[in-house]
Amino acid sequence: MSILTEADEQLLIAALRENGGFGLASEWYLYGTKPLPKQWAFHHAPAANVTWLGGIACGKTRGVAASYMMDCLSIPYFQALNTSVTSVQAELAFEMATEWIESNDRLEHLIDNVSLRPYPQIDFKNYSSWIFRTAGKDARFIRGQEFDRINYDEAGLDYDGISLKTLRGRLRGIRLDGSVRMARLDVTTSPTDAPWLRERFYKGDTSHHSADLKDYNSIRSTIYENTYLTREQIHLMESDYTDEMVDVELLGMFPDYGMTTFPRTHVAACTEQGLNDLMTDATRPETGKPKPGWKIEVHPRHGITHFEMPPEQDGMYLLAGDPGTGDPPKRNAACVLVIRVDRKPWTVVYFDWVYGRGAYSPFLSSFKYAIDKYTPVYKGIDTTGTQKAIDELAFENEGIIVDGINFASDKQALINALSIAVTNHWFQWPLIKGLQFQMHHYRREMDTKQNKQPQDIVMTLGIAAYLARYMPGELKEAANNRRNGGRPSRRTRSTRVRRHR
């Protein structure tokens, strides 16, 4: 006995690309979702390699979710994968799809099962399935399976693009009913300076001299094309961005970093996606319970805002903080950072891009939490300029004793220390979108009060690099004490870094 309704029998056939009913089927099954023009173009793109560049809130995630849902519903034995550089990013489409499924009498009878372990997966009554999981470094988590269609979300954060080769190798084979798999690889991302991304996009760009439209199609969409947003909502986003950020984040244009302070190749060399994979294994294990001491928080637009690893008994740690009262990704957002410094490369083990919500207390709480968890040998913090409200009294209220050495340093010393550390690859940090964005955009000659360019993460890294680089003797002595069985005092030194904004 067929489970299909009379509407199903008509709409699922209409939803097939050759019948052009994608929009009609989406409106029926997905709570009235009417595709925007670029969403429709993405679904119907004829090439095997599709690249969709888009600014924030342009409709990429919803477009991907609707397109893949229609394929899974209308094509039996269809195997789909949504993947990204982090688990949370890979699962954004899953959250959207499950919202469409729940209590939807037009769709529920076509779904066989929705599971969360070992990773989110939707199974359909027609034997299709849709998997959502992180790719991992070089797509190490995506091996041994065959798919019809794969979407690599926020792929531009993968600087080398090696994962694409592995993912392409998963698109092959024959379905159980004997039909040939679709073998389509989608890249949906905000623009970055990854060389492979620009090359891939130009191959599908009808106006570019290197276009190969037989195998590649490219789409660019902007926030202004999303008719579901109000002009006021867009204006609020524009007000926090520089002109260059508007081009990239809202218009979907490739960035032009020019002569930035931190060369992109060196920033890429300090980026270790293996740390993200360790986080995935710890917080989302395929078997067993999550490991204690690990934590990650990811904003759907701004990426990772909190990354926390447990301290190791023989490790020695350094704490740096840049106070603020704003929220990411605004300029006055606070940042707290802990790095392990008894070995190189120095590893970022705690990153907190703090939501201040107009107060300093969230920053102070994060700073105090990091002290208690990592027992840092040194604590560096900026308490000058607009941060002058952070004084001894505020620290005392949080139980933080400010004592020991004090030194004065201007911003240039911090940036110099960070530049040396980055170009020598002394740092190792996870793949964090906000960190990469600020490091790529930072120009010291443009760092003025009038410039809206966010720099809180850069400054916090600068404080950490300054402390780690310019106090090597004392750090080595502390490291030797740790290795010899001694432990540093829990009453660690606090260092105030004074700089001009």
Q: Domain residues of the chain, as ranges? A: 34-207+216-250, 264-498
In sequence order, which residues have a C-beta less than 8 Å from that of residue 388 and are 6 or more positions away?
Answer: none
Greater confidence (145 vs 400) lies with 145
Residue 155, CA distances (Å) to 50, 206, 277, 397 in order: 12, 22, 16, 44
Do the Cβ atoms of 114 and 103 come closer than 8 Å?
no
Examine the pLDDT at 408 and tell me if it is beyond 70.
no
Do the Cβ atoms of 463 and 382 come closer than 8 Å?
yes
Let me know the angle formed at the C-alpha of 324 by 323 and 329, rounded to the nearest 5 degrees.
Answer: 120
Examine the pLDDT at 140 and tell me if it is beyond 80.
yes
Examine the pLDDT at 202 and tell me if it is beyond 70.
yes
Q: Which of 68-77, 210-219, 329-338 has the lowest mean pLDDT?
A: 329-338
**411-423 and 456-470 are packed helices; what angle lies between their axes, rounded to 10 degrees?**
80
Tokens of 453: 């360019």
- What average pLDDT is seen over the chain? 87
Q: Which of 260-269, 442-451, 484-493 has the lowest mean pLDDT?
A: 484-493
Do the Cβ atoms of 226 and 58 come closer than 8 Å?
yes
| φ, ψ of residue 497 in degrees (nearest 5) | -100, 115
Examine the pLDDT at 241 and tell me if it is beyond 90.
no
Return the pLDDT at 331. 81
In DSSP terms, 150 is beta-bridged to 81, 185
CATH topology of domain 34-207+216-250: Rossmann fold (3.40.50)
Return the pLDDT at 481. 62
DSSP 8-state class, residue 471: -
Return the pLDDT at 337. 96
Q: How confident is the model at residue 302 (pLDDT cuts 50, 70, 90)?
A: confident
Return the pLDDT at 498. 46
CATH topology of domain 264-498: Nucleotidyltransferase; domain 5 (3.30.420)
Examine the pLDDT at 78 and tell me if it is beyond 80.
yes
DSSP helix/strand/coil, 141: coil
Peptide bond connecting 345 to the previous residue in cis, omega within 30 degrees of 0? yes
Residue 48, CA distances (Å) to 14, 202, 405 in order: 22, 15, 61
Q: Which of 145-159, 301-315, 320-334, 444-458 has the lowest mean pLDDT?
A: 444-458
pLDDT digits (tens, 9 = 90+) for 141-200: 888 889 999 999 999 988 888 999 999 999 999 999 999 999 999 999 999 888 999 999
**How is 147-196 classified by DSSP, letter by letter?**
BSEEEEETGGG-SS-HHHHHHHHTB-SB-TTSPBP--EEEEEE-----HH
Return the pLDDT at 471. 62
Examine the pLDDT at 409 and tell me if it is beyond 70.
no
Q: Which of 89-93, 208-212, 448-452 has the lowest mean pLDDT?
A: 448-452
Q: How confident is the model at residue 52 (pLDDT cuts 50, 70, 90)?
A: very high
Greater confidence (227 vs 451) lies with 227
Q: How confident is the model at residue 482 (pLDDT cuts 50, 70, 90)?
A: low
Greater confidence (138 vs 12) lies with 12
Share of the chain above pLDDT 90, in %: 63
Return the pLDDT at 490. 42
pTM of the predicted protein model? 0.81
Section 280-291 average pLDDT? 90
Return the pLDDT at 237. 81
Section 441-462 average pLDDT? 78
Return the pLDDT at 85. 87
Section 264-272 average pLDDT? 92
Do the Cβ atoms of 260 and 441 come closer than 8 Å?
yes
Do the Cβ atoms of 271 and 431 come closer than 8 Å?
yes
Section 6-27 average pLDDT? 96
Examine the pLDDT at 122 and tell me if it is beyond 70.
yes
Return the pLDDT at 54. 93
CA separation for the pair 433, 261 (Å, rounded) = 18
Share of the chain above pLDDT 70, in %: 86
Return the pLDDT at 68. 98
Section 101-121 average pLDDT? 95
Return the pLDDT at 396. 65
Interior/surface letters 333-346, b for 16+ CB within 10 angstroms, e for the rest:
bbbbbbbbbbeebb
Residue with tokens 């849902």: 69
Examine the pLDDT at 300 and tell me if it is beyond 70.
yes
DSSP 8-state class, residue 250: I
Q: How confident is the model at residue 407 (pLDDT cuts 50, 70, 90)?
A: very low
Sign of the alpha-carbon dihedral angle for 73, 78, 79, 85: negative
H helices present in 241-318, as ranges: 243-245, 264-270, 273-283
Section 344-368 average pLDDT? 94
